[in-house]
Amino acid sequence: MAGFRGSPAPASRRPQKPELEAARVVVPFEDNRLLTQLLGEYDSHLALIEDRLGIDAHAHGNVIILTGPAAPCAIAREVLETLYTRITKGETIGAGDFDGLIRHARAGGEMASDGQAQVVTRRRVVKARTPTQSAYIRAIEKQDLVFGVGPAGTGKTYIAVAFAAHCLERGLVERIILSRPAVEAGERLGFLPGDMREKVDPYLRPLYDALYDVLPPEKVERDIETGVIEIAPLAFMRGRTLANAFVILDEAQNTSSMQMKMFLTRLGEGSKMVVTGDPTQIDLPPGMTSGLEEAVRLLADVNGISAIRFVNADIVRRDLVAKIVSAYDKAK
């Protein structure tokens, strides 16, 4: 008897749901000793790949077996082979290297050395961990003035300090000048004892931390004593011309319009300037306009100037920081 109208079609005729193309990829490696570095302690790097790409990854002998959708498996293979090559060249790798390459690949970026920008100092090689960081490094290479604008944890200041150290070591500049506005983050610290340096050090401490990370500590101390490296509040910049220097203004969202204009016009011959800030963390008095966004807007079409905007996806400090920033953004 023929089936009546509306009856279900036979199973063989039912439309099948499209399945993601599955894959099983075997990635071989020659040296088991180097493979141990690639895997990380307790295979932590494989666990990171599984978490980021939604695949299964496990080691067996001198091979790593990847199973899951074909596209993420292809990314995982390329990441593993790229980082293994770095290990063979004597480089030390960590979780951040995996995270950065995966971010590049998922955004359509290249994993070769010309795809992932980097900054080299005597003490450290700072590799871009997101495509935006790569764009930021390349902008600093090419332009005399670069704005790095975006949330905390995206590496804006750290990369700028690393690039400044790179330029100083290679004789491209004669000195480094790091500055911040001395604005309290919603707190009243009251009277601070000590001389001028001791009074302003709490505001400038993040810049010291970045310097000590990319340069030998003894060089930092010596260069600060001789004035090759200067770390000073924004107010100390007035009336100066900063030539043959790498100049960084951090926390620029806390500058007024006039302060920003004053600072930008300090730029002298043979100098580079990087201005960083997060417009969502303004600590200025109520009613005062931040000079950062105004400067980015006014100078958008000026040759020799670039503005790189970071977003939450660029946060590399750790995943939890990205989640915290996103939660606050959603609450607005």
pLDDT, tens digit, 9 for 90 and up, residues 21-62: 688 999 999 998 899 999 999 999 999 999 989 999 999 989
Q: What is the pLDDT of residue 206?
A: 81
**3-class DSSP state for residue 250?**
coil
pTM of the model: 0.74
Q: For residue 180, which of 133, 140, 137, 232 has the smallest C-alpha distance? A: 232
Residue 28 backbone class (left: φ over 0; alpha: ψ -120 to 50; beta: rest) = beta
Task: Compute the average pLDDT of residues 196-223.
Answer: 80
Provide DSSP, 10-65.
Answer: PGGGSPPPPPPPEEEEEEE-S-HHHHHHHH-GGGHHHHHHHHHH--EEEEETTEEE
Task: Compute the average pLDDT of residues 179-191.
Answer: 58
Q: What is the pLDDT of residue 273?
A: 97
Is 292 within 8 Å of 277 (Cβ atoms)?
A: yes
Residue 233: which H helix or E strand, with range? strand 229-233
Q: For residue 51, which of 85, 94, 116, 102 has the smallest C-alpha distance? A: 102
Judged against a pLDDT cut of 80, whether residue 188 lies above it is answered with no
CATH of domain 119-330: 3.40.50.300
Same fold, 20-116 and 119-330: no
Is 24 within 8 Å of 67 (Cβ atoms)?
A: yes
Q: What is the pLDDT of residue 122?
A: 85
More confident residue, 95 or 222: 222
CA 309 – CA 60 distance, rounded (Å): 42
Q: Specify the DSSP class assigned to residue 9.
A: P
Q: What is the pLDDT of residue 271?
A: 95
Class in CATH terms, 20-116: alpha beta
Confidence band for 302, pLDDT divided at 50, 70 and 90: very high
Is 278 within 8 Å of 150 (Cβ atoms)?
A: yes
pLDDT, tens digit, 9 for 90 and up, residues 105-162: 776 655 544 457 889 998 888 888 888 898 999 999 999 999 999 998 899 999 999 9
Is 104 within 8 Å of 56 (Cβ atoms)?
A: no
Strand 145-149 and strand 175-180: pairing?
unpaired
Where do the structural domains in the chain lie, given as residue ranges?
A: 20-116, 119-330
Q: Specify the DSSP class assigned to residue 242.
A: B
What are the distances in angstroms from CA 105 to CA 41, 70, 74? Answer: 24, 14, 10
Confidence band for 205, pLDDT divided at 50, 70 and 90: confident
